[in-house]
Amino acid sequence: MKIKLTKALSFFILFILFTACKNNQNEQKTDSKNLEKELELSHANSFSIKTFDDFYLIELKSPWPNAKKPFTYLLFKENAEIPKDLEYDQKVQIPVEKMVVTSTTHIPALEALDEESSLIGFPGLDYISSKNTRKLINSGKIKELGKNENINTEILLDLEPDVVIGFAIDSNNKTLETIQKMGIPVMYNGDWTEKTPLGKAEWIKFFGAFYDKLDQAEVKFKSIENAYIEAKKLAKSSKETPKVLSGAMYKDQWYLPYGNSWHAQFIKDANASYVYTNTQGNGSMALSFESVLEKAQDAEFWISAGQFTSYSQLLEESPHYQQFEVVQKKNVYSVSLTKGETGGVIYFELGPQRPDLVLKDLVSIFHPDVLPNYETTFFKALEE
């Protein structure tokens, strides 16, 4: 009797231990479903990505300057278990198969991820310069959607995109609001709000999440980051720090980038001295011709000289430009000479995604001794 009781007691204890262990395993399994990991972003400040077992949460902190609230986007995989109390603004199942983007700056990220074939519509096809994407356009696989501020919603509805990636300068975008009301999720991309070149380029990870290719996006970005750092080191090896002017006149005002802008950061990283490096602000400065002449008459280089492609065009617009030494010495460079087959300026499309190429251009211009015989990608000297 005693033996039977002992055996029963032993069995009961083992049963309790087994059940406790099993319950503990279930608890761990449940807990792991709720565990989140925030994707490491080295340079971008305007968004974050939290990864879960079967979904991502993207928080868009700055869709446009002075935005009152962030946006949260849920990107979920098939059969994902979404917590009932999870709050978000828009959701889409991933990997996305059909996408509409609204800025040419989005095109290079899709191509880097080998997903340009998912693009089915774009407002202003002639602005796209990429040869790969233009092949898709020419074969009729990407449809024209009109203008960005007035997208043709009828064509968009027929295309049935999984998501529209938009951008906006403020909260007043009636077209994108209309698209959302039609049941098509609109998710904003705020890459243009970043202050540094590498910050903009890191937005490839934003697109990587939509295709469940965060690893590939990380590899692509790391390669760009390393190339940028190498070009920066190369620039530092030069003992010269030339004085640089930027921007151009428009209706009696000279528009220039602020000293805390991504454009000014390029000049600094290329080991040059931007004439307005100590200024801060959003957008562009608007100054009088006289004030710019006083400060930059002896500048050694002038880059991003508006839409000008030749000195004759420059001086026809205003003969006063001749007062600058940089014009007299023919050291003016513009991105407007490098265009795609339909007239789009390649710099505006590819530059934000490939800051390493932009920086190499500037290093070769400011310090030809450290990058001799380098063929620039974007910046070209003005023609006669």
Domain identity same for 147 and 275: no
Among 184, 202, 224, the domain boundary falls at: 224
Characterize 295-309 residue by residue with b for buried, 16 or more Cβ atoms within 10 angstroms of its Cβ, and e for exposed. Answer: ebeebbbbbbbbebb
Per-residue pLDDT of the chain in tens (384 residues, 90 and over written 9): 444 444 444 444 343 334 444 444 433 333 445 567 889 899 999 999 999 999 999 999 988 888 888 999 999 999 999 999 999 999 999 999 999 999 999 999 999 999 999 999 999 999 999 999 999 999 999 999 998 778 999 999 999 999 999 988 887 888 898 999 999 999 999 999 898 999 999 999 999 999 999 999 999 999 999 999 999 999 999 999 999 999 988 888 999 999 999 999 999 999 999 999 999 988 889 999 999 999 999 999 999 877 889 999 999 988 999 999 999 999 999 999 999 999 999 999 999 999 999 999 999 999 999 999 999 999 999 999
Give the span between the Cα atoms of 92 and 360, in whole angstroms. Answer: 38
Provide the number of structural domains found in the chain: 2
Domain identity same for 293 and 155: no
Which ranges of the chain would DSSP assign to H, the alpha helix? 2-34, 107-112, 131-138, 153-159, 174-181, 197-201, 204-210, 214-236, 262-269, 289-296, 311-317, 325-328, 346-350, 355-366
In a domain, 6, yes or no: no
Q: What pTM does this model have?
A: 0.89
What φ, ψ does residue 254 adopt, rounded to 5°?
A: -95, 115
Give the span between the Cα atoms of 302 and 316, in whole angstroms. Answer: 18
**What is the residue type of 162?**
D
Query: How crowded is residue 71: how many other Cβ atoms within 10 Å of its Cβ?
Result: 19
Domain identity same for 241 and 94: no
Tokens of 106: 């989005």
Q: How large is the greatest C-alpha to C-alpha distance in the chain, in angstroms?
A: 115
- Is residue 314 within 8 Å of residue 249, measured between CB atoms? no
Among 168, 199, 224, the domain boundary falls at: 224
Q: What's the pLDDT score for residue 112?
A: 98
Domain identity same for 110 and 55: yes
Q: What's the pLDDT score for residue 68?
A: 85
Domain identity same for 323 and 356: yes
Domain around 267: 237-381
Domain identity same for 166 and 243: no
Quick check: helix, strand or coil at residue 21?
helix
The candidate with the shortest Cα–Cα distance to 43, out of 209, 225, 231, 234, is 225
Domain identity same for 349 and 268: yes
Domain identity same for 309 and 360: yes
Give the span between the Cα atoms of 36 and 46, in whole angstroms. Answer: 20
Domain identity same for 211 and 342: no
* CATH number for the domain harbouring residue 281: 3.40.50.1980
Give the span between the Cα atoms of 380 and 376, in whole angstroms. Answer: 7
In a domain, 273, yes or no: yes
Give the span between the Cα atoms of 213 and 152, in whole angstroms. Answer: 30
In a domain, 54, yes or no: yes
Give the span between the Cα atoms of 161 and 381, in whole angstroms. Answer: 42
Residues in the chain: 384
